[in-house]
Amino acid sequence: MWSSRWMFVLAAAGSAVGLGNIWRFPYITGENGGGAFVLIYLVCIALVGIPIMMAEVMIGREGRQSPVNTMRALTQQHHRHRGWVLIGWAGLLAGFLILSFYAVIGGWAFKYILSLADGGFTGATASQATGTFEAFLASPWEMLFWHTLFMVVVVSVIGRGVVKGLETAIRWIMPLLFVLLAVLLGYGVTSGAFGQGLAFMFRFDWDALTDRALFEALGHAFFTLSIGMGAIMAYGAYVPSSVSITNTVITIAVLDTVVALVAGLAIFPIVFANGLEPGQGPGLLFVTVPLAFGQLPLGALFGAVFFILVSLAAITSAISLTEPALAYLVEEYNAKRSRVAVTLGTGCWLLGIGTVLSFNEWAEFHVVGSMTVFDFVDYVSQNLMLPLGGLFIALFAAFALPKSVLGNQLGLTGPVGRKLWLVLAGVTAPLGVLVVFLVTIIGLDNVKAWFAG
Ligand code: PHE
**98 C-beta closer than 6 A to ligand 1:** yes
Would you tell me the crossing angle of helices 245-273 and 35-43 to the nearest 10 degrees?
A: 170
Residue 165 has a pLDDT of 63
CA–centroid distance, 450 to ligand 1, in Å, is 36
CB of 26 closer than 8 Å to CB of 197: no
* Cα–Cα distance for residue pair 328/71, rounded to 1 Å: 11
Residue 162 has a pLDDT of 60
**322 C-beta closer than 6 A to ligand 1:** no
CB of 232 closer than 8 Å to CB of 53: yes
Residue 356 has a pLDDT of 98
**357 C-beta closer than 6 A to ligand 1:** no
Residue 206 has a pLDDT of 80
DSSP 273-340: HTT--TT--TTHHHHHHHHHHHHSTTHHHHHHHHHHHHHHHHHHHHHHHHHHHHHHHHHHH---HHHH
Q: Specify the residue with its C-alpha closest to ligand 1, atom 6.
A: 226
**274 C-beta closer than 6 A to ligand 1:** no
| Cβ count near 123 (within 10 Å) | 9
Residue 191 has a pLDDT of 85
Average pLDDT per 10 consecutive residues for the chain, totaling 453 residues: 79 93 97 95 97 97 96 97 97 98 98 95 95 97 98 90 67 83 90 94 87 95 98 93 92 96 96 95 96 91 93 93 93 91 96 98 95 97 97 96 89 86 96 95 89 84
Query: Which of 223, 233, 255, 384 maximizes ligand 1 atoms within 8 Å of its Cβ, making it the mutation to test the pocket?
Result: 223
CA–centroid distance, 11 to ligand 1, in Å, is 12
CB of 162 closer than 8 Å to CB of 226: no
Looking at the chain, how many residues does it have? Answer: 453
